[in-house]
Structure 1
Amino acid sequence: MRTASPWWASLIFGIGLLFILLGERLFGHLPGIRMGLTTIGVILLVAITGLRAFTMMRSAGGRRAVERTFFVCQVGVLASLVVYALTTRWGVNLFGITEKGAGKWTMVLTVLWSIGMLGSLVPMFMIETSLGIPLRTAFDLRTGGDEGVEYYRVREIGWSGITIALATAFLMTTCGVAKERNVQRDVSYYKTSSPGESTKRIAAAQNEPIKVLLFFPTSNEVKEQIRNYFDALQSASGRLEIEEHDRFVDAELAGKYKVTKDGVIVLVKGTGDKEKSQTIEVDTDIEKARKSKLRNFDREVNSQLLKLVREKRKAYVMTGHGEMTDPDSIPPDLKGRVPERRTTVFKKRLGDLNYEVKDLGLIDLAKDVPEDATIVLMLAPTVPLQPAEWAALSRYLDKGGRLLIAMDPKADPNLGELEGKLGVKYNPAPLTDDQAYLPQRNTVADRRFVITTQFSAHASTTALSRSVDKGLIVVDSGAIEDAPFSGKGEQPKKTMTIRSMDSSWLDSNDNFSFDSATEKRQKWNIGAAFEGPKLKGEGGKDKDGYRVLMFSDSDLFADVLVSSMGRAAVVMISGPLLDDAVKWLGGEEVFAGEVVSEDDKPIKHSKSQDAVWFTLTIVGAPLLVLTLGLVGTWARRRRSIKKTAEVKL
């Protein structure tokens, strides 16, 4: 189709736009290059638009109408660029827009120039595509005749382009509005954790009130969540004084406790020189706070309260014998047989319980257990301890020491002289169960992932016994058995705190199957607590003797990667067991109890539960559908017979 202007005029116009795009987007951080490219682009756009005006004025009839259409489109592009310029820093400063209002100003003008640009470029591109290149390689300013000019087709294509552009603009605007007006509803298991039993006990045991200072903005959703938590804790304990403060209004108080931002909670105990304080920081944005602190807020408060109400204690973890806590010390010839495990969560929980974790190696232990040790922890040594080390541990217990022992079938099973002192021994035969176990790989090896709900009413299993429906998983465990007592003095009080289900057995031949001739199903001991006889303290008063906790599975305290609801986390499969165990060993059983967490819990089914679900889905559901179908068919036939009988009558 013949036109007054050549096709390459639109190409140059597009090149001008490309220069502006490169200058503003790609080289926006380089003022010199940006200005050069943008200037060249603007010059090209203005020149081609002027050329369109010239060809429009010098032509007539259909040619003039076509040129006018191109001219209007190009003027629309220039006008859109002017609006775009007002969204830049230059435009904002030109109209004196404040920083607060700059966001809305930019958003509105961006929508306007985007719609204008689309409404101009799309019709122009579609018209150029329909006109083609032939007969349009040079200027044709003839004023007579409209041969080869189809203006009506050009007009219809132009309107179609505008329709497409406006539809696209509407879609963009709709997406923008949807983003701004987005409403989310979280249907996961979420709420701010409530005060747990342990936290309530810590607060209630204090002789003087604990002040809770909340430094939050006046109106804040996170503050309301935090306030509700402490109100509930105050009602349960009666030992809290809750105050709300603005860090700017109460600048002196904020400075005293080094509060430099909103979202800070200060716990204060005592006055004057005896005053102690601990700080908890929470994000003031509810979406961020719920993902970081609110779900486990009770655990955070519990940890800070323990730091507030007593001094830090020391927990000595034995090393140098290939323990789970010291995998580097495993002998090379045993590395293939003994799995390497990590205890990062274990050590972190000890820190949360206000214990300083220190290593206790072979050289130090052979001499004696340090005097400042509150508890000593031994997790599955693969190398046998020396007699001098067992003797040191025995002397430590005689002085009222506290010891946690976790054994493992793949580690050294000996207890040295503690076997006769405590009256127990360790059987390393793997505990197996073909009924109460956790399916993992759907092989017989899964039977070593034994589930139990058998907990005694002991202070070291307080939280476990109150959540018996959840159960406890032991992996590749052995068993604790009675042994003759050969120690000096009175025999310790022995309590079996955790037992397996009565369907389990010790797989002595390691074939994962129950052999009735040589093996026995019964409740095997997994955890045991020992309390030594009373000792004479200062002033002739009695004080508690030694305390020992022994477990037949060291994996209870190992790191485990758990995936739930698309999220992965490293946890201990023993849940609250360590907390209550350490509190009992440290003589703080009054603080034992559940610490509430609202994290999404992974769904775990035992083998029997999986069998029930399998039956319901494979058999139950089809039977239900078949029954409904038969009932429906029978009802329809009955109505049909009834109608036939009525017609005959």
Structure 2
Amino acid sequence: MGVKRPWLTWLLLAGLVAVYAGARVFAGMEYLRIGLIVAGVAAVGAAKAMRAAYWRKASDDARSMETILFLCYAGAALALAGFLTACGLGVVLLGLEFEDSWSEQRFQRFFLTASSVLLVCSLLPALGAQWALAKGGHAGVLRVDALRVRQTAAGGLSVALAAVALTLIGYVAATFDRAADFTYNRTAMPGSSVREIVLSMDEPLRVALFFPDVHPIKDEVLVYVNELARITGRVVIEEYDRFHDPAGAEEYEARGDGMVYFRKGDAYERIVLGMDMEQARPQLRVLDSIVQGRLLLLNRERRTVYLTTGHGELNDPLAGEYPGSGPVPDPGEFGPGLLPLQGRRQFLGLLNYDIRDLGVGNGLAEAVPDDAAMLMILGPRRPFLEAEIDAVRDYLDRGGSLVLALETGTEFTMAGLRDHLGVDFDPAMVLDDQQGMSNDPRVLMTSRFSMHPAVTTPSRESIGQSVMMAGTGSFTQAEDVPGVQTEAIVESPLSSYADLNGNLAFDDDTEEQRNHFLAIAVERTDGAGAAGAEDERGMRALLYGDAEIFSDQWIGAGLNTVLIGDGLFWLHREENLAGEVISEEDVPVLHTRAENVLWFYTVIFGAPAVVLGLGLTIIYARRRQGRGAAEAEGS
């Protein structure tokens, strides 16, 4: 059948591709750019002119099919003209002048949007009509072919309009950003961490609820404590109405309703939920985390954590004011509310730690205090003085616990601590083009954890969740340090690489894609420090290649909080307390760069393909039914 002529459609497509390649892909190569644009315009123009000539010669049903194809070709040619105008070529040829750059930008955006819409609404029906023609061509069925072409072209136009509508809806949603809360209201249930804390107590836990006899908040709390009592068998639940039970209110010193008390012996901790469900709902969603903090305050002694200062650490409020090397003045003049790392300080406070800063001004050059349950060095920018390094080494020799979180691009090195910790630090930033955040190539997401007790919870919850690090370095294990056991507890994906030249891109000639050690657990196994000091408890240390995970910005990202929490339990030989903390709080859904690419192509091509496939299936089914009816009538 002469109407087919598929080569005209291929000529049209080739011309459109050539113009796009010249205007966008080879924009920096002037001669090639102009040649592709001229050739593409000529091809589109020739296809349209030839289709117009065939349309004039056709008659009856053939003319109706040629009309559809001619209109599609004309629309594609008009869209091409709008595209060239949007790219600036039309502005130059027409000699247009604008008052300002904003007016010119609006002009180009209009033509680019309009031409894109017109191209989709022209090209999809043309391809559909050409496909329908390829299925026909039998003698004496020209009328059936014409009907097939019209229906298929209409289906292609429907898909094109649906794609345009989805695009416009997406644009409006992004421009007029509005949020609505459709989350379900649900109270968190007891996690394994709270269960282990209750089981470790030397006496049953008493839980007292001060509410009226009937109250919705009381019912939600009872669901939690009843489940905790069931799984531990060591919880005694007491319900009080403080007006009907004044003796109970006096025993717990309850001065209001909406309170929950946790009691062990004579000591108790309380949670104030209040009587308004809307105000209590955020606490109920994270009730397990709140209970964990209260039980830790109740069940373990108060411990002191020292955070070093004077070297540009994340917790040093004077780091930005003294950029030079060496120590800076002690930040004791800063009130608690002005100190950095408020989120981390609150987290440590919930774990019953007393947080103090330690610098040269208050004794770091002499010794780490004897009451230090843990020493934290978070993101030092400048090297320690030799006296400070000696104090840290002496603390480790005494069986101390150390958290050392480093940053890339600093002057701090592992030289003074290498022989005690048995690791080397590589300051080259570890990146991953597949598992990194699409909007920030420095952010690395990984769910590769070992079975070490310092990462008990992350290893259990790694399916669908990740630790997020921003600009992390990596470690290598030094095998020439005796008496130290090191184990990588967090590794980067196999597709990651060390950015040796700092260009934030993979260079296959100088860089290698492989796993890197992002966090290391260190434990002395010979019972003595490097200096020969004897201690039944060998030192323990956790080393992280990124200190940002301790910052307020990243503390709640992914599995960062449970990663650090489990690490602290391990440092203090309380591995049994590490475990899952249940939360029903909404968290943002974060996608890696590879996932964003997948979602992009799924939405752009997958959804229209499903609609098109469904439409073609329905049309094919109808035609088979029509043929069956015609054959039945003929027989």
Name the TM-score class by shorter chain.
0.5 to 0.7
Residue 287 to residue 331, structure 1, CA distance change in 2 (3 Å): closer
**Counterpart Cα distance in 2 of 1:462 and 1:303:** 19
Relative to the length of structure 1, the TM-score reads 0.64
The equivalent position to 2:292 in structure 1, one of 290, 298, 302, is 302
The match for 2:21 is none
**Counterpart Cα distance in 2 of 1:202 and 1:303:** 10
**Counterpart Cα distance in 2 of 1:465 and 1:528:** 15
**Counterpart Cα distance in 1 of 2:503 and 2:228:** 52
The match for 2:305 is 315
Alpha carbons 1:315, 1:374 under 8 Å: kept: yes
The percentage of aligned residue pairs carrying the same residue is 35
Residue 190 to residue 458, structure 1, CA distance change in 2 (3 Å): farther
Residue 534 to residue 313, structure 1, CA distance change in 2 (3 Å): farther
The equivalent position to 1:560 in structure 2, one of 541, 545, 553, is 553
The Cα of 1:187 is off from its aligned counterpart by 3.8
Between Structure 1 and Structure 2, whose CA radius of gyration is higher? Answer: 1
The match for 2:449 is 455
The Cα of 1:439 is off from its aligned counterpart by 1.3
**Counterpart Cα distance in 2 of 1:415 and 1:609:** 36
Alpha carbons 1:450, 1:475 under 8 Å: kept: yes
Alpha carbons 2:436, 2:592 under 8 Å: kept: yes
Q: Deviations over 1:382-440 (max 9, x none)?
A: 12100111110111011110000000003333124211211111111111111111212
Q: Within 5 Å, which residues of 2 pair with 1:405-554?
A: 405-440=404-439, 446-469=440-463, 470-483=465-478, 485-486=480-481, 490-533=482-525, 535=527, 543-554=536-547
User: RMSD of the alignment, in Å?
Assistant: 2.4
1:617 aligns with 2:603: yes
Residue 295 to residue 334, structure 1, CA distance change in 2 (3 Å): farther
**Counterpart Cα distance in 2 of 1:546 and 1:264:** 41
**Counterpart Cα distance in 2 of 1:524 and 1:450:** 12
Instruction: Return 5+ residue gaps in structure 1 as ranges.
Output: 1-184, 336-340, 441-445, 563-569
The match for 1:593 is 579
Q: Deviations over 1:597-648 (max 9, x none)?
A: 2110211111222222222211111111111111111122222223333334
The Cα of 1:573 is off from its aligned counterpart by 6.7
1:201 aligns with 2:193: no
Q: Deviations over 1:135-173 (max 9, x none)?
A: xxxxxxxxxxxxxxxxxxxxxxxxxxxxxxxxxxxxxxx
Residue 371 to residue 462, structure 1, CA distance change in 2 (3 Å): same
The Cα of 1:523 is off from its aligned counterpart by 0.8
Secondary structure of 1:480 counterpart: strand
**Counterpart Cα distance in 2 of 1:545 and 1:427:** 26
The Cα of 1:586 is off from its aligned counterpart by 1.7
**Counterpart Cα distance in 1 of 2:509 and 2:621:** 58
Amino acid at match of 2:276: D
**Counterpart Cα distance in 1 of 2:278 and 2:505:** 50
**Counterpart Cα distance in 1 of 2:478 and 2:633:** 90
Alpha carbons 1:583, 1:592 under 8 Å: kept: yes
**Counterpart Cα distance in 1 of 2:320 and 2:351:** 29
Q: Within 5 Å, which residues of 2 pair with 1:25-174?
A: none
1:386 aligns with 2:385: yes
Alpha carbons 1:262, 1:284 under 8 Å: kept: yes
Instruction: Return 5+ residue gaps in structure 2 as ranges.
Output: 1-179, 326-338, 529-533
Residue 243 to residue 530, structure 1, CA distance change in 2 (3 Å): same
The Cα of 1:328 is off from its aligned counterpart by 1.7
**Counterpart Cα distance in 2 of 1:362 and 1:401:** 19
Alpha carbons 2:477, 2:486 under 8 Å: kept: no
The match for 2:561 is 575
**Counterpart Cα distance in 1 of 2:501 and 2:319:** 29
Alpha carbons 1:560, 1:572 under 8 Å: kept: no
Alpha carbons 1:534, 1:542 under 8 Å: kept: no
Aligned residues between the structures: 438
The Cα of 1:375 is off from its aligned counterpart by 0.4
The Cα of 1:483 is off from its aligned counterpart by 3.1
1:215 aligns with 2:210: yes
The equivalent position to 1:287 in structure 2, one of 274, 278, 292, is 278
**Counterpart Cα distance in 2 of 1:355 and 1:483:** 32
Residue 424 to residue 439, structure 1, CA distance change in 2 (3 Å): same
Amino acid at match of 1:463: T
Amino acid at match of 1:474: M
Amino acid at match of 1:491: G
The Cα of 1:285 is off from its aligned counterpart by 2.2
Alpha carbons 2:188, 2:285 under 8 Å: kept: yes
The more displaced of 344-353 and 553-562 is 553-562
Alpha carbons 2:467, 2:558 under 8 Å: kept: no
Alpha carbons 1:413, 1:428 under 8 Å: kept: no
Secondary structure of 1:582 counterpart: helix
Alpha carbons 2:382, 2:412 under 8 Å: kept: no
Residue 200 to residue 375, structure 1, CA distance change in 2 (3 Å): same
Alpha carbons 2:548, 2:554 under 8 Å: kept: no
Q: Deviations over 1:304-348 (max 9, x none)?
A: 10111122111111111110111422465579xxxxx95211111
Secondary structure of 2:318 counterpart: helix
**Counterpart Cα distance in 2 of 1:325 and 1:427:** 23
Secondary structure of 2:561 counterpart: coil
The match for 1:131 is none
**Counterpart Cα distance in 2 of 1:288 and 1:386:** 50
Alpha carbons 1:421, 1:485 under 8 Å: kept: no
1:360 aligns with 2:350: no
Amino acid at match of 2:354: E
The match for 1:278 is 269
**Counterpart Cα distance in 2 of 1:218 and 1:187:** 30
Amino acid at match of 2:566: D
Relative to the length of structure 2, the TM-score reads 0.66
